[in-house]
Amino acid sequence: MELRKHIIAGNWKMYKTTTEVVAWAEKFNLGSFRRDDIEMVVFAPFTVLHVLNGFSRTGRFGVGAQDLYPGTFGAFTGEVSGPMLRDAGVQWVLVGHSERRSLFGEDHRFLAAKLRSALEFGLRPVYCVGETLQQRENQTHLDTVATQVKEVLAGLDEEQAASVVVAYEPVWAIGTGRTATVAQAEEMHAFIRETLTLLFGSVSQAIPILYGGSVKASNARELFQSPNIDGALVGGASLDPQEFQAIAASC
Ligand code: PGA
């Protein structure tokens, strides 16, 4: 039995207006790509979640937000909570993307609170981890990622752990056109799986681990052949619906 479904997720970051989303979704839904063994998800800006949701049933893709604030409601100007996302039809949320860590100073405590809040309100979190180039060059990449995994995920119960998706995105590969080699990615994915097994025992086998960082249709197939790479988190290339489907078709 296949324990983990492959997941191909697009992270649109701060791109796309309503008109652009409609054009993207119309093209996506016209595409011939259909595979029941793959889940597709799009992480879109808050302002277009509703629009995207309207297309998600026919397109058979899930809708995700790129961030959430822990809790239900309150005096937190500019923030959006899990229940508000659910109300907008959202099922997924990103937590710990490297841009949130580095540009917005989000630390492990805050990320742990966000992740727990996502689970509490029935959103499936994709928790992102990954080392900087300097950490890889100093040979501290494994320790860095182990700490990111443990500090945020430790303490989840089995049911919660089984709902989490992990995305390994080396910071030096994000938006740079430089992808990790298959050997580098597979080494890290196997290591993340070991770390998850230390935390959650056999439940770790149910946790998909996605690769992210300059994934395109031209390099996806090679990556997906690795046993511990369960799909991809795709930034730039997901902005084009045909390229995004071509990546999924490489699974
Ligand atoms: P990229 O971004 O595919 O454009 O490198 C990946 C990400 O940041 O999730």
* Ligand 1: residue whose CA is nearest its atom 3: 235
Q: Which atom number of ligand 1 is nearest to the Cα of residue 212? A: 6
150 vs 57 pLDDT, higher one: 150
109 burial type by CB count under 10 A (0-12 exposed, 13-18 middle, 19+ buried): exposed
CA-CA distance, 25 to 183, in Å (whole number)?
A: 35
H or E segment at 42? strand 38-44
Active site residue 189: no
Q: Read off the pLDDT of each residue in 128-150 and give the average, rounded to a whole number.
A: 97
Q: Whose CA is nearest to atom 6 of ligand 1?
A: 235
Catalytic residue among 169, 186, 189, 243: 169
Mean pLDDT within 147-168: 98
Ligand 1 centre and the CA of 120: distance in Å?
A: 27
In short, whether 228's Cβ falls inside 6 Å of ligand 1 is: no
**To test ligand 1's pocket by mutation, which of 67, 102, 215, 240 has the most ligand atoms within 8 angstroms of CB?**
215
> pTM to 2 decimals?
0.97
The rounded distance, in Å, linking the Cα atoms of 199 and 214 is 30
- The pLDDT of residue 34: 78
Q: Is 97 a catalytic residue?
A: yes
Confidence bin at 1 (pLDDT 50/70/90): very low
- Please state, rounded to an integer, the average pLDDT across all residues of the chain: 96
Ligand 1 centroid to Cα of residue 31, in Å, is 23
Mean pLDDT of 105-123: 98
pLDDT, tens digit, 9 for 90 and up, residues 170-221: 999 999 989 899 999 999 999 999 999 999 999 999 999 999 999 999 999 9
Going by alpha carbons, the residue nearest to atom 1 of ligand 1 is 235
User: CA 196, CA 200: separation in Å to the nearest integer?
Assistant: 6
pLDDT tops 90 at residue 58: no
What pLDDT digit, counting tens, does each position of 21-46 carry? 999 999 998 887 778 889 999 999 99
**What's the pLDDT band for 145 if we cut at 50, 70, 90?**
very high
Ligand 1 centroid to 1 CA: how many Å? 31
Mean of pLDDT values over 104-118:
98
pLDDT value for 160: 98
